[in-house]
Amino acid sequence: MVLSPKEGAKIIASKAKHVKIKEEGINKLGDVIVEEITSGQLSPDNFSQVEVHPSPDEPWALDWLFVVDTLNFCFWHNENDEGWVVEGYTGYFALCAAINRAIKEKVDITNPTFYSAITEKQLTNILRSDSKVKCPLIPDRVKCLHEVGNALLEKFDGSFKNVVKQCNNSAEKLLQLIVNNFSCFRDEAEYQGEKIGIYKRAQILIGDIWACFKNKDIGYFEDIDKITAFADYRVPQTLLWFEVFQYSKDLNEKLKSNVILKNGDEEEVEIRACTVHAVELIKEYVNKKLDDKKANSILIDHFLWDFRRRYSKEVLEKGLPFHKTLSIYY
């Protein structure tokens, strides 16, 4: 049996040897998030305020989200190295900019008939960089596009909308549909005999649909609270900043030495699972303090990810490392 992200993360956090979650950090960060939500700074509306994101009125918005989140993995580079850049953006936003550029250039990138047969040369051109640094893992990205494109054509009449319709407004059901039908989204790990689903990209896809459509129409999910945080490279840095996380001396030294952790290594699984569980604890704390507005894990994750991006220089100056893994899962 595969444990859900929430269940599995709680168990791993209770056993973790390399990552400790600190209650005082939960409270400190929780108070910051309460203020952000109360002031209106943190809300689902912020998704559509980012210029590289689609408007829900665009007829291809849902297909855009599916393609972007199929490709949304592994953009990191060492802190002092040059990274992949598209139209001035880096990382995930560079991916968004590249897909938007392809649409402007009349490339049929949101059509599964096109991307189910895309070549490495075509994708390399779509993801071409402003810098000399190329987008990493192009062969893996091509493989992911082939897999999801063919699955859509064979099982869902060539439309991701048909996948979403089948979930009947249930985020939990949509998560199962995604991980059962598209194996490149099946982000699972084993830890001391337990199998846990982490499902970063599958959950972020659901979170992006929810945020883009503002929890309305095809983006309405009655159980959106079942979605957890998206366990990636960057959110743990914010958790370190607010002293929610404390790493063991050995793990800290490894990360500062740029050791590559394998996907599925004990330390890597602990960082990711503890990220999910810490956000669940923050959510509980925040919702006890809020009156009418309620937080979910997606909203809290948005804050944590944005914070790290906004204060990237300060995070670097503080020497707060991120774990480095070559993986299609995040």
Euclidean distance between CA atoms 172 and 14, whole angstroms: 24
Task: Say what the pLDDT of residue 48 is.
Answer: 57
Strand order in the sheet with 194-197: 2-3, 194-197, 188-191
Euclidean distance between CA atoms 289 and 287, whole angstroms: 5
CB atoms within 10 A of CB 103: 16
Task: Please compute the mean of the pLDDT values over residues 122-136 and round it to a whole number.
Answer: 95
Which among 193, 186, 190, 164 has a CA at the least distance from the CA of 65? 164
Task: Say what the pLDDT of residue 44 is.
Answer: 74
Active site residue 232: yes
pLDDT bucket at 6, cuts 50 / 70 / 90? very high
Angle at the Cα of 121 from the Cα atoms of 125 and 89, rounded to 5 degrees: 25
For the stretch 40-56, pLDDT in tens is: 888 877 765 688 999 99
Task: Please compute the mean of the pLDDT values over residues 155-161 and round it to a whole number.
Answer: 96
From 223, 232, 291, 292, active-site residue:
232
- With beta carbons less than 8 A apart as the criterion, state whether 247 and 259 touch: no
For the stretch 172-185, pLDDT in tens is: 999 999 999 999 99
Whether 115 has a pLDDT exceeding 90, the answer reads: yes
Task: Say what the pLDDT of residue 85 is.
Answer: 94
For the stretch 241-284, pLDDT in tens is: 999 999 999 999 999 999 999 999 999 999 999 999 999 999 99
**127-136, 139-148, 188-197, 288-297: range with lowest mean pLDDT:** 288-297
Beta-bridge mates of residue 89: 86
For the stretch 211-247, pLDDT in tens is: 999 999 999 999 999 999 999 999 999 999 999 999 9
- With beta carbons less than 8 A apart as the criterion, state whether 191 and 244 touch: no
Whether 97 has a pLDDT exceeding 90, the answer reads: yes
Euclidean distance between CA atoms 261 and 241, whole angstroms: 21
Task: Say what the pLDDT of residue 291 is.
Answer: 78
> Token pair for residue 300?
């809290």
pLDDT bucket at 77, cuts 50 / 70 / 90? confident
Secondary structure in 3-state letters for 137-189: CHHHHHHHHHHHHHHHHHHCCCCHHHHHHHCCCCHHHHHHHHHHHCHHHCCEE
Q: What percent of the chain has pLDDT over 70?
A: 99
Task: Please compute the mean of the pLDDT values over residues 298-316 and round it to a whole number.
Answer: 94
Task: Say what the pLDDT of residue 250 is.
Answer: 96
Whether 113 has a pLDDT exceeding 60, the answer reads: yes
pLDDT bucket at 87, cuts 50 / 70 / 90? very high
Task: Say what the pLDDT of residue 294 is.
Answer: 83
By three-state DSSP, how is residue 110 classified? coil
